[in-house]
């Protein structure tokens, strides 16, 4: 049974079938993938690599991972980031207002404008898959041919409507994460040798 997700999207994401309808498949096509060398990387994980627990719900002070990108094609007016769970479809982060040039977001940096995630707030939604279940988190970067006029707090659907027909280049970076038990320290485990 086909998921209806185009093969080029599954290839860009990696790791097999993509059950969720990602933003990439809705607003872009294969011709804009990596156009003019547009690429997204992170010093915290490689494409298809594992996301460190410090960026997930496993750790108390977790933040969004650091990201870097190359210059978009000439004429680009803005850069937009959308992070989604490829296996469940949940929106983890929407960011826009990024300048149309080579750039980066530092670990935990607050971006210029953010929209609502799957929980209805405008923060990095910490990955928290069920115990023993691995999910893929797809960081999708889009270069646009016009600046967005969306207000902060816009919904994912509003963002998608504004992206449609304006993507000049796209880049994808995928991270994997498996649900873990959160370890809690018990006072009895602290070495009391009675």
Q: Which residue shows structure tokens 């405008």? A: 122
CATH code: domain 7-176 is: 3.90.280.10
Q: What is the pLDDT of residue 158?
A: 97
Per-residue pLDDT of 123-149, as tens digits, reads 999 999 999 899 999 999 999 999 999
Query: How would you class 71 by CB atoms within 10 Å of its CB: exposed for 0-12, middle for 13-18, buried for 19 or more?
Result: middle
Q: Which residues contact 57 (CB under 8 A, 6 or more apart)?
A: 126, 127, 128, 182
Question: What pLDDT score does 166 carry?
Answer: 97
Q: Any idea where the domains of the chain sit in the sequence?
A: 7-176
3-class secondary-structure state, position 5:
coil
Report the C-alpha gap between 36 and 166 in whole angstroms. 16
Confidence of residue 173 (pLDDT cuts 50, 70, 90): very high
- Pick the more confident residue, 194 or 26: 26
Work out the pLDDT band at 176, boundaries 50, 70, 90. very high
Q: By C-alpha distance, which of 97, 75, 81, 82 is closest to 147?
A: 97
Is residue 179 scored above 90 in pLDDT? Answer: no
Q: Tokens standing for 33?
A: 């993938």
Closest CA to 51 of 184, 178, 194: 178
Of the candidates 27, 9, 66, 13, the residue with the CA atom closest to the CA atom of residue 160: 27
**What is the mean predicted confidence (pLDDT) over 3-32?**
92
Dihedral sign, Cα of residue 14, residue 51, residue 38, residue 154: positive
Q: What is the pTM of this model?
A: 0.91
């Amino acid at each position: 049974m086909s998921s209806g997700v185009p093969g080029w999207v599954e290839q860009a994401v990696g790791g097999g079938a993509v059950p969720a309808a990602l933003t990439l498949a809705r607003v872009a096509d294969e011709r804009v993938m990596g156009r003019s060398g547009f690429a997204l990387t992170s010093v915290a994980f490689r494409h298809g690599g594992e996301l460190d627990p410090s960026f997930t719900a496993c750790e108390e002070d977790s933040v969004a991972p650091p990201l870097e990108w190359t210059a978009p094609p000439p004429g680009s007016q803005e850069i937009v980031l959308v992070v989604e769970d490829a296996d469940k479809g949940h929106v983890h982060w929407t960011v826009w207002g990024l300048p149309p040039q080579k750039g980066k977001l530092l670990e935990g940096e607050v971006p210029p404008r953010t929209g609502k995630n799957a929980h209805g707030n405008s923060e990095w939604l910490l990955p928290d898959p069920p115990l023993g279940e691995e999910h893929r988190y797809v960081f999708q970067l889009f270069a646009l041919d016009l600046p967005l006029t969306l207000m902060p707090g816009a919904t994912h659907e509003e963002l998608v409507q504004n992206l449609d027909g304006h993507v000049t280049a796209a880049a994808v970076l995928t991270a994997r994460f498996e649900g873990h038990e959160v370890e809690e320290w018990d006072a009895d485990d602290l070495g009391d040798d009675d």
